[in-house]
Structure formats: C-alpha cells, structure tokens
Structure 1
Amino acid sequence: MHYDKNNNYNGWQRKIAFFLSAQTISLFGSSMVQFAIIWYITLHTSSGTMLTITTVCGFLPQIIISLFAGLWIDRYNRKTMIMLADGMIAITTFALAILFLAGYNDIWLLYPVLLIRSFGTGIQTPAVQAIIPQLVPKEQLMRVNGINSSISSLMMFLSPAAGAAVLAFATIEMALLIDVVTALIGIGIMSGITVSTLANKAVEGNSGVQKIKQGFAYLKEYAYIRRLLVFLFAVMLLISPAAFLTPLMVSRSFGSEVWRLSASEMTFSAGMLIGGLIIASWGGFRNRRLTMLLACVLYGLLMIALGAAPTFGLYLLFNLLIGITSPSFNSPLTVMLQEKVEPQMHGRVFSFMQMSNSFALMVGMLLFGPLGDAVRVESLLIAAGVLVVACAGIGWRFLIDRDE
C-alpha cells in the first residue's frame, strides 16, 4: 500500500465536511446547466448525431488536458487547482448567459462553451479524487467516497427538476446564471479550507514532457493499476449508450415531454443516492474486486432490462436500479487506486483515469451515436449490456492483485 502514513489528519471531519459542501453546491449548478444544454439540443434537434457532437465537445478537451492536469495537480496545491477550474467554468458560463441575453442564441454557441467547461472538468475531477486521501484517513476512504457519491447523487437528483422548472417557467439563461452563483459560493467555501501542497520530488526539475513520461512509466511498472484502468476503459465504452442515448430513447419511444426526460434523470440520480448510502454504510465485501465486478454484472443485466422495458414505468424502475448499482462499481475502484497509488502520483494517475473515462465515452458515442439514428436505442442497450456482463467475467481473472 502507498497510502500517506505521515499525515495525522487532525480535524479531518471538519475539513471534509466543508470540502464536500463546496463541491456539492458547485455540482448542483453545473449539473443543472449540463441537463439544460442536453435537453435544449435534444428537444430542438432530436438527433443522435447532434448528441454525439455534444458528447465529443464534452469529453475531447478532458482527454487533451488530462495529460497536463495530472502534473499540475501533483506539483501545485490541489485546493487551488480545484478553485481555478471552477472559476474558469463559471466565467465561461457567464459569458454564454450574456450572449444569450443579448439575443445571440444560436445552438452552435453551446458547443465552444461545452469545450471550455470540459477543460475545467478535466482538471477539477482528478484533483477532487487526489485531494480526498489528503483529507481523510485510510480506514474512512470507502465511507467518505460513498457519502460523496450520495451527496453528489442528491444534487444530480434535484438538478434535473430544477433545470426542467427553469426551462418550463423561465429561460436557459437563468440556469446559466444560477450555475455562476453556485460556483462562486463553492469557491468561497473552498477558500476557507487549509490543504498543504505535497513535497513532490517526482515533479521537480526536468521538462513537463519528462514528468508526464514519469506517469506513464509508473503505470508500466505497476501492472495491477494499469489493468484496472484498461478494464474501466472497456466498461465505460460499453455503458455509453445508457449514459447518453437514453434521452433519445425516451423522447422517441415514450414521449418528448420535458417531465419524462426529467423523470429519467431523476430516477437514475435517486438510485445513485441510495446506492451511495448503501456502500457508505456497508463498505462492500472485504474483497473490493468482488464488490466491483458483481456490480458490473448487475449493471449489464439492468442495461438489458432497460432496453427491453415495454412501458415507461418499468423503464424508470430499471433506471433506478442501475443508479443503485453504480456506486458499488465506482467507489471500490476509486478506493483501490487511492490506496495503492503513491500520494505524490495521485494527480497523474487520476488524470489518466479521467482521460481513459473521457476517451471511452467519446469513442462509445462516436460508435453508438450514429447507430442510434439507424437502429433502435433499445437494441443498442441490450447488445452493450451483454458485453458488459462478459467484461465482468473477463475482469475476474484479469484483475488479480498480488496482495490478495
């Protein structure tokens, strides 16, 4: 294990409470805007190709920036990196709101904003994952990651309803301005938390390219960490239809009313909330690989059920169950990396994880998005679900840790 043994974690409960509060408030505004943009594009185009472009704009910058973000996160203060990323997203969103209010509301204006917001997310997400082990003792990691998942899911549960209300009774500009306000509040709370900058000889001297190469060399040296990231890439690629094409499926098969899109997102987020609470209180099996892979099997089976659902009510039930399953897959994987990776390498490894996730989802949408215009989304969900189950079976033998 490479967990930081020199940190005494004095007052960690207060620090993590403030940190999670800041991230939750910021996430609420960001997720509401994300839903508003996706629904705006879906309702105005009803095109799988347009949703594919949206996905590329949302993830390609994360892939590009992740190569450098990990180095910055390992070299500079991680709290500062999170605040700067949040601030960049807020400024971009504010600029879009001003353009829309001035009457420049062409749908293509959304895409450069999605690109810039994605750059910020590519820095913020791995920084959050890297900073948690600095704030929380090892024995509390699963619990805190579960709580973080539940709080985030609660905000994701509330934000679709808030986004739908804004679109129904106000305008998309209002959603954009709310995101700016929540980001400023989150930054204000974060500024009151003390987080030390790690002394990191691994990023001192040499060029940026050499430091990035050190990260790849680290993955080459530790095969288990590399296998975890490869497995995650395969699963994320296959779940991309469930992640991005379900709004298209709902609008085509059940109706294009905003409340249906909202209900779809809210049931998934409610499931994530419940699943996060379960994993936080239960902690999973002692063998975290077993917890993760069983959740992967259930996810695949529920994707099949989602595609076969004959009514909107059953669709929502299976969507809820998929949400419950997700934290039992994500939390053990994140904790395994937080424990096994050296603290001074957390930034680069979690950036590689972010890059892998983003690339997998983008490739998945490049593949499944156009297919969604040629065949039924339900068929894509069933086929991808079968492959997710197969991945879990392969992973059982592929992900063998020498420490087990």
Structure 2
Amino acid sequence: MAPVNRTMFDPLADSADGARHWITTPVTAHLLRGALDVEHTEQGIVPHRLPAKVRQQFTDGRLAMAEAQPCGVRLAFRTRATVIELDARPTKHLYVGAPPRPDGVYDLLIDGLLAGRASVLGGHLLSIDVNTGLAEHRPGPIGTLRFSDLPERAKNVELWLPYNEITELVALRTDAPIEPASDGDRKVWLHHGSSISQGSNAASPSTTWAALVAAFARVNLINLGLGGSALLDPFTARAMRDTPADLISIKMGINLVNADLMRLRAFTPAVHSFLDIVRDGHPTAPLLVISPILCPIHEDTPGPSALDFDALRGGRLRFRAMGDPAECADGKLTMKIIRDELARIVRQRAAEDPNLHYLDGRALYGEADFAELPLPDDFHPDAATHRRIGERFAKLVFTANGPFAAVHHPPSGERNVPST
C-alpha cells in the first residue's frame, strides 16, 4: 500500500481511461469515532473532543488547542475501495526557539492492521515563541492524503487522525462506495488524562498507549487526553458524565503539579467533586483512577515546571521543576503526595462504590523503566515507552482480575498488544 501526498486533486487525471469512477462521500459526524462534537466550516468539519458549550464557556488557548487536536479520532467505514483520498487542512505548530516537531501522522488500518502511514502537506501554521508566548497564525492550503493499491475486497477501514494537529476534514474520495462501520458489540472506553494520554511523542495516532490498549481489548476508544489540561475541570467531568460509556478511566496528577494549580486543601475536594460528577452519569460503570507515572523531577519537588533554556540553547527540549520541596509543608503538590492522596480517596469511596478502582501509575512506568527508557524531555514517554505503558495497562486492567476484565474478554491467544 503506497501513501503519497498531493496538494491538489484532479479527478480526471485518474479516470481519463474511464476505468475508475471517483465517489465523493461527505465527511460528517456519522463517519467519525472518538469525537464528542464537530464544528462546521466553510469547506468541511473540524472534530472536537469537548462539546461546544465548554468551548464557549472557557476559551483558554492551551485547552482549545488540545481538545481540537483529534487524539483518538478516526474515520471508520466499510468499503471495497482500492484507493482512498482525504482532503484535509491541518494546523501545524512551530515552536520558535525549540527543536522542530515532526508533521502529524495519519494511520490507515484495514481490518485492524496497519496498512499505511503518511502526513498531509500544507495547512495552517501556528507559530509560538517559547520565550514570550506570543503566537502568530498563518493561513495555508488544503492538502491531500492518498492510499492506493488496497486489497479489492470488502474490508473495515479506519483512518486515524493526528493526535497533535488540529484537522479540518474537507472531502473523502474512494473508487468504490463506502458505508459507516458497524461497532457490533464493542464496548466504549472513555479515558481522560494529560498529554501522555493524548499521545505526546508517540510514533503515530494508532500507537499511543491508549490506542494500543483499545486495539488489544477490542473496545471503542474515546480519548479525552488533553495536553496540559488534565486539571480536574468540572466541565471535563460534565462532558464525561454526558458521554455514553461502558468503561471509564481518569489519569490525574502531572498537570496539577507542573501548572502549580492548587494545594492539597483544594485537591482533595476537587477529586471528590470530579468523581461525583462522572458518577452522576455512570453510577455503576467500572471507573478506574490512575495516579501519575514516575516523573523524577517532580517526585519530591513541587511545581511549577519551566522550560530548561540551557538545554534549548543546546538543541534539546527539556523541563525543570521550579518549586521548593520545603513548600510541601504549605500544601504544595508532588507526584508522591498526589499518589498517596488518590489511593486514600479511592479506598474511602470504594467502601460504598465497589466498581471504583485505583492503579498506581508507577506500575505502568516506574524507576526500573526510567533507568532503561528515560523520559526524553523529563515529562513525556517516547514511542517505545508508549508501547510498554500500553502493554502494562492491557495486562493489569483488561486481563485476569483487572477492573475491566469482567466486561470484555479478548479471544484466547490474543493477549499481546498488536504489533504495527
């Protein structure tokens, strides 16, 4: 299967001999999985992972960028097509003063297996100065993604969108009709977390740790991983409350520390309130609370976090913990304090909520893992570590006596996270 990029599409170029007749299918919400809302533009739609009401109430730039980046969002359909083209306009990000970041990646999966991977050229450019925080938006053209030489048989197709590029979907073309995919009896897994859950530094959208777990467990993923914005916001809890789901997990902690957002006095009631709101909509669903993975710079040192400008001058992106451990006496939060408090809260609540569970994030990535696979920027895992976290989560949560094991049982012999 050969993916290519083109900035324009000429339907006559491929159909001059009359052998191929292109079919354009409107890109609408019924073809999408993993989005909670869509925004209609002059030329297409932009998937969103938070509802319009939230976006209108709270216009924080970081949250707006994160929720519009379509982490876990994919087009899902069934077709006999041998060629698939998607017109899209991404919003790419340039961080002035930091090492360049790679283009967003699209993954094509056929019957659950990776069949192609490519990026879209063109698009808008959002330039952000890491020294001043000033941003400049430069409009750009639509690009075209093309996958050809696909097997000529009926097949289930998923086209996973980049987890790190806001994406306007403009047109979908195929050389055979398509119909929306059937979800069958797959359960819905609703997950909320930070940039690690969103996929930061993963190789591609279908290989973030959460996407790998969803493939293993054969569940439909709705990923509310929000880079820099897993902050116990009530509107996120309300969005989760109102989203139909069979399995729910919440990974919290790192953003509260690196933003230095609250003290222990505020943290404890905020966790209770967040869980209360989610439970209002899902009173008996298995609900898993996950504490932070190991983050050595913040294990005993509170936030805030800041860019390490000495490392930047050397061409590396790294972060530093700017707090003072002595400030913990005044209620400042660290990874260890958050883990202890989350474990205590879940124990307390589980006495009346037997479907509430806790997972220590260090079981997914701990000290031994850090020695072997250190965090490149001191915060985010690399592609290999995403896979390790996914493997651990799948084993601890979806198999044996894990909190989600009773809901779904993968076929015997399929206990490994799929290779890509």
TM-score, normalised to structure 1's length? Answer: 0.26
Greater Rg over alpha carbons, structure: 2
Greater strand share, 1 or 2?
Answer: 2
TM-score, normalised to structure 2's length? Answer: 0.25
Greater helix share, 1 or 2?
Answer: 1
